[in-house]
Structure 1
Amino acid sequence: MAKDDGQGKRHSGISIGSVVGAMAIGDHNTVTNQQGGTPADPVQAELLEALRELRTDLARVVAGERTRALDGAAADAEAEIASAGAASPGRLARLRQALADAEGLTGVLASAAAVGRTVAALLGG
Structure 2
Amino acid sequence: MTTDEPSVSISNVSHSSLAIGKGARSENRYAAARDESAEALLRAVRELRADLARLNASDETRALDEALADTENEIARTGTAGDTRRQRLREVLSDAQSVLTLFASAGAVAGLLGL
With structure 1 as the length reference, what TM-score do the two structures score?
Answer: 0.66
Judge conservation of contact 2:32–2:76 (CA < 8 Å) in 1: yes
Match for 2:31 among 17, 29, 36?
Answer: 36
With structure 2 as the length reference, what TM-score do the two structures score?
Answer: 0.72
1:62 corresponds to 2:36: no
1:49 corresponds to 2:70: no
Deviations 1:27-54 (Å, cap 9, x if unpaired)? xxxxxx9632551x21111000000001
What runs of 5+ residues in structure 2 fail to find an aligned partner? Answer: 1-12, 18-27
Match for 2:96 among 99, 102, 114?
Answer: 102
What runs of 5+ residues in structure 1 fail to find an aligned partner? Answer: 1-16, 22-32
Identity %: 44
For this pair of structures, how many residues does the alignment match? 93
Q: State the match for 2:65 in structure 1.
A: 71
CA distance in 2: counterparts of 1:63 and 1:77, whole angstroms: 19
State the 4+ residue runs in structure 1 displaced beyond 6 angstroms. Answer: 17-21
Greater Rg by CA: 1
